Amino acid sequence: MIEKTLVLIKPDGVERKLIGEIISRFERANLRIIGLGILKPNKQLMEKHYPKDKKWIENLGYNLIKTSEESKIKIDLKKDYKVNNVYELGLKIREWLINFMCSGPVVKIAIEGPQAIQVVRKIIGKTIPLLAEPGTIRGDFSVDSPILANLEKRPVKNLVHASGNQQEADKELKLWFKRSELIN
């Protein structure tokens, strides 16, 4: 099944000069680049990119709490993050994500190939760099920690974003690329 998906090289990946390395990994996997560009995203674009549904936002908050608990770091939502509940914490984390993505240039890549969504995610590696396997982009080049990110009140710097499923890929490709920018 031929699929199309979106990859974004985040500001940390651009700043570290990993654009060519990242793109070459997709090409070596015989995936086809059908759209490519570089831009500095604005808040309006990033507001549309990141979901606003309650479940997704609460999940951001729960992930921070889970990471803190696993690291034996005690947190107080009100004192440490100035929020009253997990949803408000998720909104704050979403804001960190948006601010980070607007902090510098981002490379947008439209990719096509057999089972492209799953293949791209395998090449990228797990979201948390420490858990990403060697040989993946995040496993080889990302050194950030969710514990440090939580303490510094920012998102994990993990170099790349990739669509998680077909529905997300369709939405994100339409958001980041005009139809005329994609090669058939």
Residue 22 lies in a domain: no
pLDDT the model gives residue 70: 86
Distance CA 75, CA 163 (A): 31
Residue 25 lies in a domain: no
- Indicate the pTM of the whole model: 0.94
Asked whether residue 73 carries a pLDDT value surpassing 90, the answer given is no
Residues of the chain above pLDDT 90, percent: 89
C-beta separation of 9 from 120 below 8 A: no
Residue 27 lies in a domain: no
Helix (H, G, I), strand (E, B) or coil at 57: helix
Could you tell me the CATH number of the domain that includes residue 99? 3.30.70.141
Amino acid in the structure at residue 17: K
Q: Is 161 a catalytic residue?
A: yes
Amino acid in the structure at residue 127: T
Residue 159 lies in a domain: yes
Residue 59 lies in a domain: yes
Strand 32-39 vs strand 160-162: parallel, antiparallel, or unpaired?
unpaired
Average pLDDT, integer, range 141-168? 94
The pLDDT mean for the chain works out to: 96
Listed range (1-10, 35-44, 87-96, 147-156) with the worst mean pLDDT: 147-156
C-beta separation of 109 from 29 below 8 A: no
Residue 71's pLDDT band (cuts 50, 70, 90): confident
DSSP state of 181: G
Average pLDDT, integer, range 146-164? 94
Give the torsion sign (CA, 135, 137, 142, 147).
negative
Domain hosting 162: range is 2-17+35-177
How many structural domains are present in the chain? 1
Asked whether residue 176 carries a pLDDT value surpassing 90, the answer given is yes
Catalytic option among 161, 162, 163, 172: 161
Listed range (109-113, 128-132, 137-141, 168-172) with the worst mean pLDDT: 128-132
Distance CA 21, CA 181 (A): 23
pLDDT the model gives residue 67: 87
Strand partners, 114: 2
Strand partners, 161: 8
* Phi, psi angle pair for 92, to nearest 5°: -65, -45
Residue 30 lies in a domain: no
Asked whether residue 9 carries a pLDDT value surpassing 90, the answer given is yes
pLDDT the model gives residue 93: 96
Residue 48 lies in a domain: yes
Tens digits of residue pLDDT in 121-150: 999 999 999 899 999 999 999 989 998 998
Residue 29 lies in a domain: no
Helix (H, G, I), strand (E, B) or coil at 145: coil
